[in-house]
Amino acid sequence: MQSWRAPSVPALPGRGLPVSMHDTATGELRATAPGPTARLYVCGITPYDATHMGHAATYVAFDLLVRAWRDAGHDVHYVQNVTDVDDPLLVRAAETGQDWQAVADRETELFRADMAALRVLPPRDYIGAVEAIPLIVQYVERLRAAGAVYDVDGDLYFAVRSDPRFGAVSGLPEADMVALFGERGGDPQRTGKKDPLDCVLWQAERPGEPAWTTPLGRGRPGWHIECTAIALSYLGMTIDVQGGGSDLVFPHHEMGASEAHVATGEWPYARTYVHAGMVGYQGEKMSKSKGNLVFVSALRDGGTDPMALRLALLGNHYRTDWEWTDAELGEAEQRLTRWRAACVAPAGPPAAPVLADIRRHLADDLDAPRALAAVDAWAERVRLTGGSAGHDDPAAPALVRDAVDALLGVRL
């Protein structure tokens, strides 16, 4: 699939610090320690509706990681999928009388435009589930060869107990897993399964649904194997970071880790599992199925500066759950105005400590709120002195502007 247009990233003096991230599987802060090429897989959208602020928060969070890694001298191989065939998309298309492919194409295009407007660096490989079907089939075959696949009325299931490490990503008790599996696209109640948690790898054709003719029979892929097959095919095993929102910890990333383990015989699937908190609105998690959505595109159409949207997102630490409010956006707009004013001053306090602070805070589990506070403090000093204090440097405003652009993705 086409990715989206890359924003420019100004070069900065010096180098960023090694990045540590909170790992869901161990509950600890871990040095990501990638090789020369850092390998990142972030779960992409299911394109049945427009990008909401929750999605945007998740992709902006991982964009900070990409920027911090690049600043630390790594080449970044970033892969993202598009779940362009799955139940929610087919249900929405059927309910609204639209062609499912037309819905997927339209919403994916809107997502690209939103990501470009938010200055999110694009993945190197942007891969749709439909185009990945041959890869998915290969991985289902590998699981079958490992004895981990069985058939229930033509649907192929992954036997989670074939992985002795199943459960290692989420660390959840069995009862919680079963409850979440039922809520998040699984079918714990289906009769004929060996374990309630076994997940579909390949679903046989249903009347009125799209299907592809493959060595597995006519049908379509299950959700989890889509990401496993794409990540393993494009990045290989033991990626540096597997990312997504915290709603994907279980079952999605648990299943992915187990499928990858059984298919390759290697462990771990990812060195670090990173999860962004959930953005809520009006008291509930913002979600397409609940309909309590604030769309990036609607705010952009209404004239909101995408850089203010980005600043509003960065004002919350990526791991916290938080609520989107108009007040939050208003504060971000004011901050953007203050920063822009400071960056056109004739001079300002030295920028090197600001750059060092931003780097230090991002390297510490992407602490964007602290990075923003460092820029706030600098801008406030410019405001108080007009850039004419004794030690002010005429090169400082341009360097702060570049640092904010390259590391925070906010163009002033």
Query: Where does this chain bind ligand 5CA (CB under 6 A)?
Result: 43-46, 54-55, 57-58, 81, 83, 227, 244-245, 247-248, 276, 278-279, 285-287
Q: Quickly list H helices, 47-194.
A: 53-71, 87-96, 100-117, 133-145, 174-183
Residue at token pair 């928060």: 57
Nearer to Zn ion, 43 or 160 (CB): 43
Which among ligand 5CA, Zn ion, none contacts residue 46 (Cβ within 5 to 8 A by kind)? ligand 5CA
Give the span between the Cα atoms of 388 and 165, in whole angstroms: 62
Nearer to ligand 5CA, 287 or 297 (CB): 287
Smallest distance from the beta carbon of 389 to ligand 5CA, in angstroms? Answer: 41
Sheet holding 270-276, edge to edge: 125-128, 75-82, 37-42, 239-245, 270-276
Q: What are phi and psi of 292, to 5 degrees?
A: -90, 70
Smallest distance from the beta carbon of 138 to ligand 5CA, in angstroms? Answer: 19
Antiparallel, parallel or unpaired: β 239-245 and 37-42: parallel
Smallest distance from the beta carbon of 65 to ligand 5CA, in angstroms? Answer: 13
Smallest distance from the beta carbon of 387 to ligand 5CA, in angstroms? Answer: 39
Nearer to ligand 5CA, 57 or 104 (CB): 57
Cβ atoms of 404 and 375 closer than 8 Å: yes
Which among ligand 5CA, Zn ion, none contacts residue 276 (Cβ within 5 to 8 A by kind)? ligand 5CA
Give the span between the Cα atoms of 334 and 330, in whole angstroms: 6
Nearer to ligand 5CA, 305 or 323 (CB): 323
Give the span between the Cα atoms of 138 and 232, in whole angstroms: 11
Which among Zn ion, ligand 5CA, none contacts residue 279 (Cβ within 5 to 8 A by kind)? ligand 5CA
Smallest distance from the beta carbon of 62 to ligand 5CA, in angstroms? Answer: 9
Nearer to ligand 5CA, 121 or 276 (CB): 276
Nearer to ligand 5CA, 43 or 400 (CB): 43
Nearer to Zn ion, 276 or 314 (CB): 276
Which among ligand 5CA, Zn ion, none contacts residue 136 (Cβ within 5 to 8 A by kind)? none
Tokens matching residue 294? 């604030």
| Residue 131 host element (H or E) | none
Nearer to ligand 5CA, 58 or 170 (CB): 58
Give the span between the Cα atoms of 279 and 56, in whole angstroms: 10
Which among Zn ion, ligand 5CA, none contacts residue 365 (Cβ within 5 to 8 A by kind)? none
Q: What are phi and psi of 349, to 5 degrees?
A: -60, 155
- Greatest Cα pair distance, the chain, in angstroms, is 79
DSSP 37: E
Residues that bind Zn ion (CB under 5 A): 43, 227
Which among Zn ion, ligand 5CA, none contacts residue 56 (Cβ within 5 to 8 A by kind)? none
Angle 377-329-338 from CA coordinates, rounded to 5°? 30
Nearer to ligand 5CA, 248 or 355 (CB): 248
Residue at token pair 């249900």: 91
End-to-end, the C-alpha distance of the chain in Å comes to 31
Task: For residue 257, list its beta bridge partners.
Answer: none
Smallest distance from the beta carbon of 158 to Zn ion, in angstroms? Answer: 15
Smallest distance from the beta carbon of 49 to ligand 5CA, in angstroms? Answer: 8
Give the span between the Cα atoms of 78 and 122, in whole angstroms: 8
Minimal CB distance to Zn ion: which residue?
A: 43
Smallest distance from the beta carbon of 311 to ligand 5CA, in angstroms? Answer: 17
Smallest distance from the beta carbon of 288 to ligand 5CA, in angstroms? Answer: 7
Which among ligand 5CA, Zn ion, none contacts residue 55 (Cβ within 5 to 8 A by kind)? ligand 5CA
Which among Zn ion, ligand 5CA, none contacts residue 306 (Cβ within 5 to 8 A by kind)? none
Residue at token pair 């029979």: 217
Give the span between the Cα atoms of 219 and 282, in whole angstroms: 39
Which among ligand 5CA, Zn ion, none contacts residue 54 (Cβ within 5 to 8 A by kind)? ligand 5CA
Cβ atoms of 361 and 368 closer than 8 Å: yes
